[in-house]
């Protein structure tokens, strides 16, 4: 159902129409952090999310799907023909918690590193796909925040989350390693 909501939200966006949702089950109405990642021809096409639970799960998925299709600054907005062929991956996040570098587990944790007004986030599947070790994961999250790569050693705040990850594509269906 959540993948259908994401696909429908993107189609409604590119077709210029509103989307209506069925009344969800109670657990889909709970606020959750979520990221929606889009793929076109096996390549990243957009990724937007809410790391903190501010909307109900089903609304957060619709909003992040629309934003990934139209607001990710790395990509042009999705057109109708492409929208029909997109593959979607959804990451439902646990609440953020402060963590120390030795506690970071590759394949289990996603990270948010912040210092001052800068903040970077990488999902748990990123270091696995890239073959990174813990130090590289921490460094890359710092770089994503626009911080020096060693900021995690020099006072940056580190938070972790876990994610349940699922998608409508074989290459992105990674539920088991990231569910906790």
What does the alpha-carbon distance between residue 85 and residue 170 come to, in Å, rounded to a whole number? 14
Is residue 176 domain-resident? no
Same domain, 88 and 130: no
Return the H-helix or E-strand segment holding 113. strand 110-115
Reported pTM: 0.85
Is residue 47 domain-resident? yes
Same domain, 71 and 111: no
Residue 85 belongs to domain spanning:
2-93
- What tens digit of pLDDT does each residue of 43-80 get? 999 999 999 999 999 999 999 999 999 999 999 999 99
What does the alpha-carbon distance between residue 45 and residue 86 come to, in Å, rounded to a whole number? 8
End position of a domain, from candidates 40, 71, 93: 93
Predicted pLDDT at 168: 86
Same domain, 24 and 52: yes
Same domain, 102 and 88: no
Predicted pLDDT at 177: 32
What does the alpha-carbon distance between residue 143 and residue 121 come to, in Å, rounded to a whole number? 10
Domain count, the chain: 2
Any idea which of 70-79, 124-133, 135-144, 169-178 has the lowest mean pLDDT?
169-178
The answer, yes or no, to whether residue 173 has pLDDT greater than 60, is no
Range 94-103 average pLDDT: 97
Is residue 142 domain-resident? yes
Range 113-131 average pLDDT: 96
To the nearest 10°, report the CA torsion of 22, 59, 73, 45. Answer: -50
């Amino acid at each position: 159902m959540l993948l259908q909501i994401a696909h429908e939200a993107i189609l409604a966006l590119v077709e210029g129409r509103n989307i209506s949702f069925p009344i969800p089950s109670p657990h889909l109405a709970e606020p959750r952090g979520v990221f929606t990642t889009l793929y076109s021809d096996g390549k990243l096409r957009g990724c937007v999310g809410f790391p903190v639970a501010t909307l109900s799960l089903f609304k957060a998925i619709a909003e992040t799907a629309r934003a990934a299709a139209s607001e990710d600054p790395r990509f042009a907005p999705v057109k109708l023909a492409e929208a029909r062929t997109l593959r979607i991956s959804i990451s439902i996040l646990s609440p953020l918690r402060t963590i120390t570098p030795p506690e970071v587990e590759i394949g289990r944790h996603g990270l948010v590193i912040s210092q001052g007004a800068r903040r970077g986030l990488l999902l748990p599947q990123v270091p696995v796909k890239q073959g990174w070790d813990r130090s590289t994961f921490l460094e890359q999250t710092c770089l994503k925040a626009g911080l020096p790569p060693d900021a995690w050693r020099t006072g940056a705040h580190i938070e972790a989350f876990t994610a349940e990850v699922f998608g409508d594509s074989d290459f992105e269906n990674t539920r088991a390693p990231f569910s906790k």
